[in-house]
Amino acid sequence: MSYRLNYIEAVVLRSLSRWRKVRLLTFGFSMCSRLGDGPLWAAVAVTLLLFGQSRERLAVATAAMVVVLAIAAFSSLKKLVRRRRPFEFLADLSCLVQPPDRYSFPSGHTMTAFSLYGTFATMLPGSGWFFCPAALLIGLSRIFLGAHYPSDVIVGGLLGAGLGHTVALGALWLLG
């Protein structure tokens, strides 16, 4: 990463860390980050499977495949890039959550959340109003809590949305 980008990201992280004194904000972002662990998405999937029509069930099946692909993609990228987490470089920054792995690029929580957004927004037009804000909040929470640099989240979001949209288009095309 370039020096200029590292500097800008450090400024953003330090600026956001000052807001951690607001307990309600820190609690809210902690909850958003935990939603990225899976409970929100599992609840949506179960609801759509139980009460949805065939198109909703197809979207859930496609989303399950997309999540597996997203995990494989971000895991491979993390091992390839090996970017250390921000709190390991910025002595004045702490991480308020336990990171699930050693490396930060790209954000797995964000990539997964945006891959689901891309899938559902493509397959169920009109559902983006729910999925996009949820994915954005999960991504922002990862920066706020000190687990990721902003670029980890931006790239994870772009890759995830692209993956979800592409796989969803493929599923719709295959099934006519």
Residue recorded with tokens 């600026």: 15
φ, ψ for residue 93, nearest 5 deg: -115, 130
pLDDT per residue as tens digits for the range 36-61: 777 777 887 888 888 878 888 899 99
Domains annotated for the chain, with CATH where assigned, are 3-174 (1.10.606.20)
Q: Are 107 and 142 in contact (CB under 8 A)?
A: yes
pLDDT per residue as tens digits for the range 57-111: 899 999 999 999 999 999 999 999 999 999 998 888 888 888 888 999 999 999 9
Distance CA 124, CA 105 (A): 30
pTM equals: 0.91
